[in-house]
Structures are given as C-alpha cells and as structure tokens.
Amino acid sequence: MGKVYLVGAGPGDPDLITVKGLRCIQEADVILYDRLVNKKLLEHAKAGADLIYCGKLPNYHTLKQETINSFLVKFAKKGKVVTRLKGGDPFIFGRGGEEAEALVKNGVSFEVVPGITSGVAAPAYAGIPVTHRDYSASFAVVTGHRKDAEEEEIRWESLSKGVDTLAIYMGVRNLPYICEKLLSHGKSPDTPIALIHWGTCENQRTVTGTLSTIVEIVQREKVENPSMIIIGEVVKLHDKLSWFQKSAQPYYSYAKEAY
C-alpha cells in the first residue's frame, strides 16, 4: 500500500511552497496537479514520475472530482507515493476534505501538507494586511459561489456586521450579487474593496474602489478570474504599503509563462 499527500502549493509564487510540500513533489511517483499550481514546481518531480493534470475552469472540469478521488485510491493501492498538488491550501476551498474522506473510506494512508492560501498571500503582496490594530481585529474567508441549485448558505448579515475584513474566493462572476447582499445587510456603500488578479505572480494587478463603485470599475478594467476580493478598511493601506511590483526580482519573469 502506498500513501497520498494532500499538498498546498501556495498562491502562485513558486518560492512560497513549504519545505515539506517541495519534498512531497520530489519524492512522488504520481503527481495530480491543479490549474492554479505554478508549473515551475513540477520541474522538481523526479525522473519517471507520472504528472496528471486535474485542472478546473469555471463551468468546465478536466477531471470530475469523483475521478480524481478514484485515481488517488487506485495509485496508492498500487504501492505508489502520490502527491495531490493543489493551489493555495488543500483545506481552504480546495476540496481536500472530500479527497481525505475518500481515502479514509478506502483504507488509504494520507497526510495533509498545508499551504499558504491566496486569501492572505494575495492581499499581502498588494500591501493589504488582513488584520491591523487600527482597522481590523477579525477577518473571514468566504466562497464567492455556491453549489448549483442549492439554497443560499452564506450568512451575509453576520459578515456585514460582525467581521472587519472579508477575503472572498472565486467571486468575480458574482461580484454584483456580493456587493448587493453586503449593502442590503447594512455595509456602508463607502466600504473599500480591492480585487487582486493573479496575486503573488509577476503579472499581479490590483484594482480598488468601494462597494458602490467596484462593479463598474471591474467591468471597465476587465478584471477576471483568478482574483481575490478583499473588503474592509484595510484596503485603504494598499497605496501606502504596496511593495511587490516595486521590488519584484527578475526571477519572477517565469511566472507569467508558468500557467
């Protein structure tokens, strides 16, 4: 019997992989990797390792989740060391919990290797701290979409009134809906908001506005996925603390081609 490692590859910059995550790539017989994993990381795979692309686009999946689960079980039962390489962190909107459940059900040994999640890393690279003594004592990570045909599960009233900073994943398509829900539950129209496109990569781009203006700005600037949405007073620090584009080193030049 082999073993499966559920590994977080980080938010895009390949230097943000953990030491243990890199070792799991180097030692794997099989690597199943997602769309947002920087392909530069795959260069660390050993000779002869099988690399299987499991990328998912909005409304289009190369492999269904059930197929990915079955591959993890199949290869492990063949005695392989399997690394499931996922963008960000495997347990933060990465469906890593579902994969772990499938492994337990089939008696397969596994480990979880946490990764740096884009909800913290992307704003950090944009000069936006998700917490700050003067602006934010709390933050929440929120999905920007829900399962098809399911009732609304997001508690917008609690998020609007009880959390200082929101980090919203996969929400560009639903941005008008998100803004409308927050406004209707008491969030000020002047609340600052930022969208960070390709966070931590060389081609990172940040646009800012308020809840009342951001939809028009995003449409005008043609901001698309993958983008993190950050909402809260901490966004005001973007102009002052933005450091990444000013100091990025030449080795980031590969990032644009790596996807």
For the annotated catalytic residues, the residue numbers are 34, 56, 170
Identify the three-state secondary structure at position 127.
Answer: coil
DSSP states along 58-69 = TTEESS-HHHHH
Query: Hey, CA dihedral for 207, 211, 92, 67, is it positive or negative?
Result: negative
Contacts of 12 (CB under 8 A, 6+ apart): 36, 38, 87, 118, 198, 199, 200, 201, 255
In this structure, the strands spanning 139-143 and 165-169 are parallel
Amino acid at residue number 237: L
* Single-letter amino acid, residue 222: K
Q: How far apart, in whole angstroms, are the C-alpha atoms of residue 111 and residue 24?
A: 10
Contacts 24+ apart (CB under 8 A), 59-65: 65/95, 65/98
The helix (run of H) or strand (run of E) holding residue 205 is strand 205-210
Alpha-carbon span 68 to 200, nearest angstrom: 27
What is the rounded distance in angstroms from the CA atom of residue 97 to the CA atom of residue 101?
A: 6
